[in-house]
Amino acid sequence: MTSPIRRLSLDEVLDEFFFSADKPSPDMVLRACEAHPEYREDILEFAALWSAYEASPEVPAADTVEVSEESVSRLQSYVLNQLHELDSGTSTSSQAEAARKAIESLAGKRLKQAAAAAGLGTSTLLLTKVLTKSIVDVPIKVLNDLAAHLDVALGGLQTCLGPELAGAKSYRSKAAPNASSRETWKAAVQSLSLSNEEKQRLLALQQVREGDS
């Protein structure tokens, strides 16, 4: 039976951090915070104290080294900004991957249901053009409704749309458009074999702004 990996204590993490280099660097602090997110504040404080000590002249052992607030703030700001960028990047990547998987599951009945949920009626061809980014000005309402139907983030959906979806293994449409050709929403709607009333309804979707009902 495999023993579970023991979680390091704060003292062990700080010891490991201290003995990893002669003096702390922003990148070193960042790596430590990424490896042990539960101790981020403690690592930042320890690194600031260490940096202040390294920068100060030798003093009697009984004296206390005062930490520059500006130094602490600068170090914390750098590391926290880097961590925020990493967290944001991971979040965006995860959202795009979730959206891609949802899209690649569309086939047959599911594709028709997605088209209807996005307000496109029975036109899977129009949905296909949206998914492969063949239309340059897709109404935001269509994208919002599609994201809601697929239960994915709008940002993730927008990130993964593109011509490459036309070749996805699971995603299928009987009438996939030419991925290299791009057209306006109006042109795409007008090219469909639909009634004038339905075309007008689809064209009107472009007038609905984000946040409108």
> For the chain, how many structural domains are there in total?
2
The pLDDT of residue 6: 61
Q: Examine the domain organization and report whether 86 and 172 are in the same domain.
A: no
Summarize the confidence of residues 81-88 as an average pLDDT. Answer: 57
- Identify whether residues 18 and 70 lie together within a single domain: yes
In terms of Cα–Cα distance, which of 168, 188, 180, 58 is closest to 120?
A: 188
Model's pTM, two decimal places?
0.52
> How large is the average pLDDT for residues 128-146?
90
Range from 23-27, 98-102, 118-122 that averages highest in pLDDT: 118-122
Same domain, residue pair 161 and 111: yes
Show Cβ contacts of residue 16 under 8 Å, excluding neighbours closer than 6 positions: 8
Q: What is the pLDDT of residue 65?
A: 47
123 and 194 housed in the same domain: yes
Would the pLDDT of 57 be above 90?
no
pLDDT of residue 187: 93
Classify residue 3: in a domain, yes or no: no
With respect to residue 212, please indicate whether it lies within any of the assigned structural domains: no
pLDDT at residue 1 in the model = 47
CA atoms within 13 A on the CB side of 68: 10
Q: Are residues 118 and 191 in the same domain?
A: yes
* Least confident window among 45-59, 85-99, 150-164, 189-203: 45-59
Residue 143 within a domain: yes
Q: Is the pLDDT of residue 84 over 90?
A: no
pLDDT digits (tens, 9 = 90+) for 165-205: 655 545 555 555 454 578 999 999 999 999 999 999 999 99
Task: Determine, yes or no, domain membership for 192.
Answer: yes
CA nearest 75: which of 15, 14, 134, 33? 33
94 touches 152 (CB < 8 A): no
**Within this chain, do residues 71 and 140 fall inside the same structural domain, yes or no?**
no
Task: Identify the pLDDT of residue 32.
Answer: 79
203 and 113 in one domain? yes
More confident residue, 140 or 169: 140
Instruction: Note whether 109 and 202 are same-domain residues.
Output: yes
Residue 99 lies in a domain: no
Q: How far apart are CA 147 and CA 39, in angstroms?
A: 36
Q: Same domain, yes or no, for 117 and 83?
A: no
pLDDT of residue 8: 74
Q: 156 pLDDT exceeds 70?
A: yes
What pLDDT, on a 0 to 100 scale, did the predictor assign at position 107? Answer: 78
* 117's tokens: 């949920």
Domain of 48 in residue numbering reads as 10-55+64-94
Asked whether residue 83 falls in the same domain as residue 129, the answer is: no
d(CA 126, CA 135): 9
Residues 156 and 68 in one domain: no
- What is the full DSSP assignment across 15-57? HHHHTT-SS--HHHHHHHHHH-GGGHHHHHHHHHHHHHHHHSP
Counting beta carbons within 10 angstroms of the beta carbon of residue 168, is it exposed (0 to 12), middle (13 to 18) or buried (19 or more)?
middle
Tell me the average pLDDT across 207-213: 59
Q: Are residues 31 and 118 in the same domain?
A: no
Confidence band of 96 (pLDDT split at 50, 70, 90): confident
